[in-house]
Amino acid sequence: MNPEASWALSALCVLVAAVVRGLTGFGFAAIAVVGLAMLGSLQQAVPLVLFLEVASSVMLLRSALSEAHYPLLKRLLLAAACGVPCGIWLLTGIDSSGLTVGVYLLVGLLAIMGLARIRLPMGEGRAGAWLVGGSSGALIAAFSIGGPLVVAWLSHCGLRARALRATLIMFFFAVDLAALAGLAAASAIPAGTGQQALLMLPALLLGLWLGQQLFVRIQAEQAARFTQWLLLVLAGVGLLGRAWS
C-alpha cells in the first residue's frame, strides 16, 4: 500500500473512532488500535493512539470536570496506577503477532459481553474497582484498550449517562498520560509518532465535534450498542486478515 493510501485510511480510522468517542465517551482506542494495527504494527499503533487519546480527552475535559463521579474515579485511578507497568512489560516484551491476535480476541469478547449485557462477576464495591481499574490500566498500557471493561463495570454502578461519560473521559485522560510516560521511559515510542499524531489531529477534532453533536440527538443506549457492534465487526475483520496473511 502506498503512503498516501495508508495515511488516508489511518485518518478515516481516527475519524470514525473520534466520532464514537465524542458520542459515548469511550471506544476510541479500541476502534483506532484495531484499525491502525491492520495498517502497521501494534507497537506503532499503541503509542500513536495514546497520543490521540490524550488530545481527545483534553478537548472533552471541560464538561467532564463538573460531571464526573470522583469517588469511583479515585478508586479506579489508584488501581490503574498498579496495572500500567504490567501493560508496558507486555507491549515491550511479547511477540507483536501474538499480541495483535490477542487484541482482536479481547475486543471481540468484550463487545459480545456488552451486546449480551453480561454482568462482570466482580461486584460494585472497592474490590471490583481495584480489579477493574488495575486490569484496565494494564490493558491501556499494553494495547491502548481498556474502555469496554471499565464501561461494563461502571454501567452497573448506577451512573447516569452524563456522569458515566464524564468519568470515563477523566479516567482515560489520566491513565493514557501515565501509559505514555511509561512507554517513553521504556524507549518504546517509535520515532515520528508525535508528528503522526499532529497530522491526525484534524480528523480527530472533526470526529469529536461530530460525536458531540450526535450526543444530544441519540439515546445513550443506542450509541453504546452501535459501538459494540462496530468493535465486534472490526475484531472479526482483524482476525480474518491475520488468518489470511
Given the C-alpha cell 518504546, which residue does it identify? 188
Taking only the tens place, the pLDDT of each residue in 117-141 is 766 555 556 777 888 889 888 888 8
Which of 70, 73, 75 is closest to 131 using CA atoms? Answer: 75
Cell numbers describing residue 172: 482515560
CB environment 156-183: b (16+ within 10 A), e (fewer): eeebebbbbbbbbbbbbbbbbebbbebb
Per-residue model confidence (pLDDT) at position 135: 86
Q: Choose from 101-110, 173-182, 233-242 the range with maximum mean pLDDT.
A: 173-182
Chain mean pLDDT for the chain: 82
Q: Are 77 and 175 in contact (CB under 8 A)?
A: yes
**pTM for the whole structure:** 0.76
pLDDT at residue 161 is higher than 90: no
What are the start-end ranges of the E strands in the chain?
none
pLDDT of residue 80: 93
Check if the beta carbon of residue 65 is closer than 8 Å to that of residue 162.
Answer: no
Sign of the CA dihedral with 44 first, then 205, 68, and 165 last: negative
Contacts of residue 32, Cβ cutoff 8 Å, sequence gap at least 6: 13, 14, 17, 45, 49, 52, 144
Dmax over Cα atoms in the chain, in whole Å?
51
The pLDDT of residue 202 is 94
More confident residue, 138 or 95: 138
Tell me, what's the pLDDT at 129?
81
Q: Please give the span between the terminal C-alpha atoms of the chain, in angstroms, as a whole number.
A: 15
Cβ atoms of 88 and 97 closer than 8 Å = no
50 closest CA partner among 193, 192, 161 = 193
Tell me which residue of 45, 94, 100 sits closest to 243, measured CA to CA: 100
**Of 202, 199, 208, which is closest to residue 4 (Cα–Cα)?**
199
The helix/strand count (H/E) of the chain reads as 10, 0
pLDDT band at 245 (very low <50, low <70, confident <90, very high): low
Summarised one tens digit per residue, pLDDT across range 170-224 is: 998 999 999 999 999 988 888 889 899 999 999 999 998 898 888 777 776 777 7
